[in-house]
Structure 1
Amino acid sequence: MKKILLVCSAGMSTSLLVTKMKEAAKQMGEEIEIQALPIAECSSVINEVDIVLLGPQVRFQKPQVEKLSNGTIPVEVIDMRQYGVMDGKGILESTLDKIKVK
């Protein structure tokens, strides 16, 4: 099972996106665990996920999150346009592609 962590400043703005991504995963027949956390809490689970997605509003903290992952887990910034329209399916598809490349 793939595990995806979405990170934003408070964990609130990504919760709707998590719901949309879970709906897309179900439609695609993918078994995926997706959760959202504030940046302050991501260190507690970062070593248990396949990829970390940062909300555009915290993209400046990418180096900090990469340091937490010790370079072993991809850390990507969610496309601002996709995030703005809450494109759960598009974000999920591009995320799965990135996990496969890993």
Structure 2
Amino acid sequence: MSEESTQEPAAGPSALLEGQIRCEWCGWPFRPPKATGRKPRYCRRSCRQRAYEARQTRAEVDAALLLHAKGGKAGASPAPAVKASKLKGVEEPQLF
């Protein structure tokens, strides 16, 4: 006497219902607010912000690794040139 299971899959973070998409940051399913236009990539503003921060950190790490691979020093970026006209009344420091 075996009965076949007639249960439907649980509706949770692993199940997508019709019209839902997954957040690219947290993976939670959500329904886009509008039917027209570009589909949102994130379910909340906080997920969008965390993804932005992760991209920025990744870019900084990649730049540091590239600089290290080329034999440069981290933090050895050249100082921006300042025009003398912007330094009115400021004396140039004596180095020696």
Larger relative contact order (Cα-Cα within 8 Å, sequence gap ≥ 6): 1
TM-score calculated relative to the size of structure 1: 0.23
Q: Which has the larger share of strand?
A: 1
